[in-house]
Each structure stands twice: as structure tokens, then as C-alpha cells.
């Protein structure tokens, strides 16, 4: 062997050794083309959001005010905004959204642009500001703040004309400059119809696609608060789920085409499923009220959703890759009603009991493929409780399985799976199976996973659970595979 050949062999050996050196941490998996923003990631991690519908409708026993209500009707006897916030926080709610103005046009803050507001009410002798109280209470107790400003206004004389658009934007400026950081602003699609309109008492129709000039209205919002998230039928950051039952679709993608949806003219099925090929990332939000109505009605005190109904909604919203926006309407005292508080408390306690103990913590884990054979991508990462770590496959692998093995039989009825969605949403089809004396038996087949997928099964006993990703649009990656027992809750 010549000296040159010898040196060549040494160089090759060093190169091979360096390639096999697992002490060198490899890069993360390649991201998909469509990704969430950091603000969207933080938002979806909240999972449970609260809505507060409270305005003059609370005192007229209506869902939609006509716009001719006397501000003197707004007169809560025991208004305690901190009670709202503490009730929500105890239930695990991370953010509250307040109806600063509903369709009737009555403003819960002293607006410089109208007399149809709280300053003309008896509350605190005209010196009250419920928006201010709400923001301060949320911040005191660590909740993020959201505000709802109805695009429709059945009180304003100029509604339907360009004059109203200037008025509406002035009120956006007030809410986003006078009250500090606002995490979410909520725009819905209820626009145009009969109303008081300054005494005209007529029907006014608008072109929902063009009247509000949404692109420039959204640009105004972002110019005032760049980190705020905007909700509407079409996003741009968070979109309506297409129903008011609180249910996302069994298949639900966070990828979405904002340009195919218009506010007030929603595509219900599309909103409820998302779009596997969508060019935008828009978080889905499932809105539902704890009562039949959105505002408080004494006649509905016996119709508050039960803990079991709330749990079903949770599994069909948060458990299907969406967030849950649960409405809690204060009563005429200005308090969340005792019946609502009791249902919320039992709902929270049931969730806490179910997800307190992850049975998978005592499992061993193996996978059919591991990216580069490196521990950074090991299957054990799905059990470490850290959503930043993950198991991943090699780039050319679009179908793979991961198996949890237990030292003895376990009994379970809930499974939680997560993808590290900061790299995109990938899984298109999966199967869960359990090991029996006759081999593997299919337990559940599903489609999307995303931020979180919660699966409810009948009570099942086994010593091995297999999750097979049947189809994925990119490198497979999972950050959690949890197993729990709910005892039927």
C-alpha cells in the first residue's frame, strides 16, 4: 500500500466515524410549506377559550337587540367582573372574549363616537367602563384578553353607508389603543337586516363581500396591534368552525384557503374540515354556549349543558385539532349563574381526573423507523411529556408504526396523540390496534391528528398498543402518545 493510499483510507475512516457520531445533534425535520405563526402556536396551546355575552340584551331578555333600547335599562345590581374571570380560570380557560358591542350597537365602554353607550346608563352613575374592568380583571388573574365588536349595528343611523365604516373603524381604534394588549379581536358574519337605524326602522342590506373593506380593516387592526389574532369566517388567523355546536369535523386540517371564504357567506363543510391542500394556516375555533342562548335568560337556568355534554364538546373540538370557545353569559346581577359554575366545575374535575395519570409512562416503546437512528428522533420522545421533543421517521418514510408495550395488562378508554405542528400538519390517516391472544386487533381508524387528537374507546384491556401512520404528506413526526382511563366520564 502506498503512502497516498494509506492517507486516503485514514480520511475515509474519519469521515465515516463522524457520520456515525450521534453526539452531533442533527437538524430538525424539514418543515412543510404551510406553517403556523408563533402567535398561532401559542393560541392553540390555550385550547380552551371563554366568551362573555353581556350587554343590554341581558336586561331585555333578547338574543338580538333591535337598536332602540334605552341605555337606562343597563343596570346590573352586583356586577363583578373578577367573578367571571375567576370562574373561567378555575375551569381551565386561558382567555376570555367580551362582547364590547353586539348587533344592537350599545357599547360597554364610553365611546367618543356615540351616545348609545354605558355612559348614558345608571351603572356607576354613568362613569362605568365594563371593557376597562374586564381587561384589568383578566390581566390581574393571568388570562389573555379578547374583544368582540359586531360589524352590524342596528342603532347607528349611517349603517349601510360609507359613513358607518368610518364610525366602525374609529371604534376599533378606541378598543385597540385605550386598553393595552388585546390578544384576539372577533368579527362575525351577522350583517344587515331590519333595525332601528337612528329611528328609520327599516331593512338595510349590504354587500357582505365588499362593504366592510375587510382587507383594509384587518390592516388597520394589525397596524394598531401587530401581535393580535383576528377571528372571522375567513381568518386571517382564526376561523369559525361552521356551526355553533362546538364540533369540528372528524377530519380537520389547520391548512385552509382564506381566499375561498367570505365573511357572512361561509362554506359550512369547508370550515368544518379545513383543506389538506390549503395555502394558509388558520386555526379552527369551535364556538358554543353553555346555555341554549348566547345571552342570559332566566328561563334557561334549568337548561345549562351538563358536565357530560361539555365533555362531549371538548372531545369534538380540542380533541379534533381545534380550540373550544365556550360562552358563559352573566345574568342581570352581572354574575355568572350558580348553575353554570357548578356544571363548569364538574366538567373541569372530570377532565382533570381523566388526564391526571398517563398510563403510557410505564410503557416501553419501539418504532418501525427512526430518523437517522439518532436519539433526537427516538420513539421514547412521545412519552417524555415535552411537546417540543418528537419521534420522526426518515424522509422517504410515509407509513410507519410505533408500539407501546406494558409489563402487565392495562385498562384504558382514552388516547391522546399530538404532532409537532410547528413543522406543519402531516398525518392523513392512522390506525390504533391492540394486541390480543389472536394477534393484533384494530381498535380505531382516523384521519387527521394535528395539535391534538383525543380518541374515546370502550374500556379496553391489553399489554400492547400500536399506532400505525398509514398515510402522511411528509416525514412522520409525533410529539405525544398518551393513554388514559376516564372511568366512563
* Calpha distance 347→312 (Å, rounded): 10
The C-alpha cell at 443 is 381498535
Q: Are strands 229-232 and 480-484 parallel, antiparallel or unpaired?
A: unpaired
Q: How many CB atoms within 10 Å of residue 153?
A: 29
What is the pLDDT confidence band of residue 22, given thresholds at 50, 70 and 90?
Answer: very low
Look at residues 121, 172, 176 and name the one whose alpha carbon lies nearest to residue 150.
172
What percent of the chain shows pLDDT beyond 90? 92
What tens digit of pLDDT does each residue of 114-164 get?
999 999 999 999 999 999 999 999 999 999 999 999 999 999 999 999 999
Same domain, 99 and 182: yes
User: Residue 313 pLDDT > 60, yes or no?
Assistant: yes
Q: Are strands 193-195 and 202-204 parallel, antiparallel or unpaired?
A: antiparallel
Helix locations, 316-468, DSSP H: 338-355
Tell me whether residue 11 is in a domain: no
Tell me whether residue 340 is in a domain: yes
What is the pLDDT confidence band of residue 19, given thresholds at 50, 70 and 90?
Answer: very low
* Calpha distance 343→483 (Å, rounded): 26
Same domain, 350 and 364: no
pTM for the predicted model, two decimal places: 0.94
Cβ atoms of 297 and 254 within 8 Å: the answer is no
Same domain, 50 and 152: yes
Cβ atoms of 321 and 296 within 8 Å: the answer is no
pLDDT of residue 487: 77
Location of C-alpha cell 393484533: 440
Same domain, 216 and 154: yes
Say whether 279 sits in a helix, a strand or coil: coil
Tell me whether residue 312 is in a domain: yes
* Calpha distance 9→22 (Å, rounded): 22
How many domains, the chain?
A: 2
**Residues facing residue 404 across a β-bridge:** 365, 465
Same domain, 365 and 351: no
Whichever domain contains 303, its CATH number is 3.20.20.80
* Calpha distance 48→93 (Å, rounded): 5
Give the domain range for residue 246. 38-355
pLDDT of residue 7: 43
Domain end among 355, 389, 409: 355
DSSP H or E run through 172:
helix 162-177
Cβ atoms of 401 and 450 within 8 Å: the answer is no
pLDDT of residue 13: 44
Amino acid at each position: 500500500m502506498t503512502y497516498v493510499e494509506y492517507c486516503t483510507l485514514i480520511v475515509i475512516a474519519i469521515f465515516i466515524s463522524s457520520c456515525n457520531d450521534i453526539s452531533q445533534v442533527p437538524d430538525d425535520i424539514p418543515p412543510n410549506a404551510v406553517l403556523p405563526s408563533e402567535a398561532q402556536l401559542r393560541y392553540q396551546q390555550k385550547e380552551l377559550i371563554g366568551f362573555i355575552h353581556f350587554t343590554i340584551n341581558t336586561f331585555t331578555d333578547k338574543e338580538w337587540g333591535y337598536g332602540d333600547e334605552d341605555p337606562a335599562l343597563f343596570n346590573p345590581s352586583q356586577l363583578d367582573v373578577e367573578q367571571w374571570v375567576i370562574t373561567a380560570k378555575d375551569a381551565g380557560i386561558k382567555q376570555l372574549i367580551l362582547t364590547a358591542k353586539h348587533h344592537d350597537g350599545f357599547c360597554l365602554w364610553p365611546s367618543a363616537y356615540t351616545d348609545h353607550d354605558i355612559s348614558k346608563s345608571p351603572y356607576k352613575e354613568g362613569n362605568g367602563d365594563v371593557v376597562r374592568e374586564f381587561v384589568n380583571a383578566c390581566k390581574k388573574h393571568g388570562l389573555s384578553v379578547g374583544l368582540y365588536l359586531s360589524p352590524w349595528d342596528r342603532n347607528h343611523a349611517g349603517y349601510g353607508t360609507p359613513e358607518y365604516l368610518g364610525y366602525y373603524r374609529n371604534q376599533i381604534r378606541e378598543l385597540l389603543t385605550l386598553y393595552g394588549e388585546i390578544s384576539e379581536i372577533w368579527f362575525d358574519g351577522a350583517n344587515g337586516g331590519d333595525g332601528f337605524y337612528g329611528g328609520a326602522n327599516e331593512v338595510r342590506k349590504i354587500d357582505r363581500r365588499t362593504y366592510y373593506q375587510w382587507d383594509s380593516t384587518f390592516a388597520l387592526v394589525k397596524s394598531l396591534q401587530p401581535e393580535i389574532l383576528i377571528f372571522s369566517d375567513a381568518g386571517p388567523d382564526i376561523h369559525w368552525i361552521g356551526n355553533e355546536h362546538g364540533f369540528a369535523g372528524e377530519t380537520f386540517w389547520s391548512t385552509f384557503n382564506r381566499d375561498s371564504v367570505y365573511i357572512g357567506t361561509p362554506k359550512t363543510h369547508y370550515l368544518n374540515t379545513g383543506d389538506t391542500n390549503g395555502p394558509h394556516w388558520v386555526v379552527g375555533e369551535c364556538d358554543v354556549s353553555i346555555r341554549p342562548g348566547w345571552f342570559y335568560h332566566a328561563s334557561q337556568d334549568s337548561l345549562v349543558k351538563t358536565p357530560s355534554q361539555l365533555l362531549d364538546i371538548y372531545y369534538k373540538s380540542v380533541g379534533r385539532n381545534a380550540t373550544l370557545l365556550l360562552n358563559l353569559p352573566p345574568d342581570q346581577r352581572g354574575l355568572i349563574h350558580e348553575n353554570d359554575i357548578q356544571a363548569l366545575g364538574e366538567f373541569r374535575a372530570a377532565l382533570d381526573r381523566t388526564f391526571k395519570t398517563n398510563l403510557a409512562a410505564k410503557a416501553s416503546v419501539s418504532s418501525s423507523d427512526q430518523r437517522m437512528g439518532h436519539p433526537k428522533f427516538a420513539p421514547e420522545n412521545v412519552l417524555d411529556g415535552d411537546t417540543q421533543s418528537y419521534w420522526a421517521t426518515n424522509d422517504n418514510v410515509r407509513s410507519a408504526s410505533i408500539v407501546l408495550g406494558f409489563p402487565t395488562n392495562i385498562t384504558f378508554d382514552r388516547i391522546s396523540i399530538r404532532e409537532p405542528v410547528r413543522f406543519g400538519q402531516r398525518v392523513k390517516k392512522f390506525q390504533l390496534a391492540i394486541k390480543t391472544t389472536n394477534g393484533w386487533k384494530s381498535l380505531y381508524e382516523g384521519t387527521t391528528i394535528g395539535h391534538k387528537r383525543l380518541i374515546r374507546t370502550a374500556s379496553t384491556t391489553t399489554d400492547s398498543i400500536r399506532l400505525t401512520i398509514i398515510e402522511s404528506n411528509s416525514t412522520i413526526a409525533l410529539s405525544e402518545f398518551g393513554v388514559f382511563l376516564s372511568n366512563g366520564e
